[in-house]
Amino acid sequence: MTRTKVAIIGSGNIGTDLMIKVMRTSQHLDMGAVVGIDPDSDGLARARRLGFTTTAEGVEGLIALPEFDEIGIVFDATSAKAHQHHAARLLPHGKRLIDLTPAATGPYVVPAVNLDDHLDAPDVNMVTCGGQATIPVVAAISRTVPVRYAEIVASIASRSAGPGTRANIDEFTETTSAAIVEVGGAERGKAIIVLNPAEPPLIMRDTVFALVDAPDGEQHEEIRRSVERMIGEVAGYVPGYRLKQQVQITPVDADQPVHTLLADGAPRPTHQVSVFLEVEGAAHYLPAYAGNLDIMTSAALRVAERIAARKAGQP
């Protein structure tokens, strides 16, 4: 079987976990190189111990490597600002980019929702950890009834938020909010992230709140079934992804000030849907509580696997 060589830019938590996943679980990918800017980083040291090619000279060091021409896919696990530079340098060389930052220079991809729509895109964006966890649920609801407004809250352990995550907080809210609409199908969207300092650290928890037009009980059951099917699809590549409790559907109270969340002059929705999720990490490299990072690397790996399989002529 023809396998595709990959490079990972970023030797922090996300990049290192992705390296371990490629090495241990990938069917279609081989590690080509790990790229960082700190020669003493744990990620580069671990990659060297495993026998992988490394460079601490950033994207220019990657381009200078003898193996560069053999690399077909590059994962970017750095920052939104850095990805813009990386894309400008790598796309002219014909590399396929999978962007794990909130840069959003390419189309948003959430594997369970729209992967097949963007398999030919040169640079795909993995939205954010909160987006990967919640947008499938928004999409599952919007496939059954109109979603007038969707709001997501992603609560992650403070310990699992490294420098890159903290530097990208603004981009997180903007990118996730936009993807709730573009990929999830909601008319309007909003995203909130909470860095929970609790000790011992808590695993990732996500809440999806949606205002919908679903006046009868049969539609409520359709919503629940659609959400449960979607949970199963995401769990196929993120095993620790699960519902925390049954999907809740309640009438919108006449006194509830939902008008501030809707387009001007829009009629009131009939019901609100609340979905509570939990994401436990696979602990390949990161602790199990770091489900926010695990869901990003798992989703990115899913995309790369599909691209590589297609290149090899497999379905």
pLDDT score recorded for residue 264: 83
Q: Is 165 annotated as a binding residue?
A: yes
pLDDT score recorded for residue 265: 82
Q: Is 63 annotated as a binding residue?
A: no
Q: 146 in helix, strand or coil?
A: coil
pLDDT tens for the chain, 315 residues long, are 689 999 999 999 999 999 999 999 999 999 999 999 999 999 999 999 999 999 999 999 999 999 999 999 999 999 999 999 999 999 999 999 999 999 999 999 999 999 999 999 999 999 999 999 999 999 999 999 999 999 999 999 999 988 878 888 888 999 999 999 999 999 999 999 999 999 999 999 999 999 999 988 899 999 999 999 999 999 999 999 999 999 999 999 888 889 889 988 888 999 999 999 999 999 999 999 999 999 999 999 999 999 999 988 876
The encoded tokens of residue 296 equal 């990003």
| 273 close to 145: Cβ distance less than 8 angstroms | no
113-124 pLDDT, tens digit each? 999 999 999 999
pLDDT score recorded for residue 35: 98
DSSP secondary structure of 197-241: --SSPPPEEEEEEEEE---SHHHHHHHHHHHHHHHHHHHTT-TTE
Q: 56 in helix, strand or coil?
A: coil
CATH 3.30.360.10 fits 129-289, yes or no: yes
> The CATH number of 4-126+295-311 is which of 1.10.3720.10, 3.20.20.10, 3.40.50.720, 3.40.50.2000?
3.40.50.720
pLDDT score recorded for residue 2: 85
Cα(205)–Cα(246) distance, integer angstroms? 15
Could you tell me what percent of the chain has a pLDDT over 90?
Answer: 88
Residues with catalytic roles? 129
Q: Is 163 annotated as a binding residue?
A: yes
pLDDT score recorded for residue 10: 97
The encoded tokens of residue 313 equal 């002529």
Q: Is 292 annotated as a binding residue?
A: yes
Cα(230)–Cα(228) distance, integer angstroms? 5
pLDDT score recorded for residue 315: 67
Q: Where are the domains of the chain?
A: 4-126+295-311, 129-289
Cβ neighbours of residue 265 under 8 Å, at least 6 residues apart? none
pLDDT score recorded for residue 1: 64
Beta-ladder partners of 53: 33
pLDDT score recorded for residue 202: 96
Same fold, 4-126+295-311 and 129-289: no
Cβ neighbours of residue 108 under 8 Å, at least 6 residues apart? 114, 125, 127, 131, 175, 178, 179, 182, 183
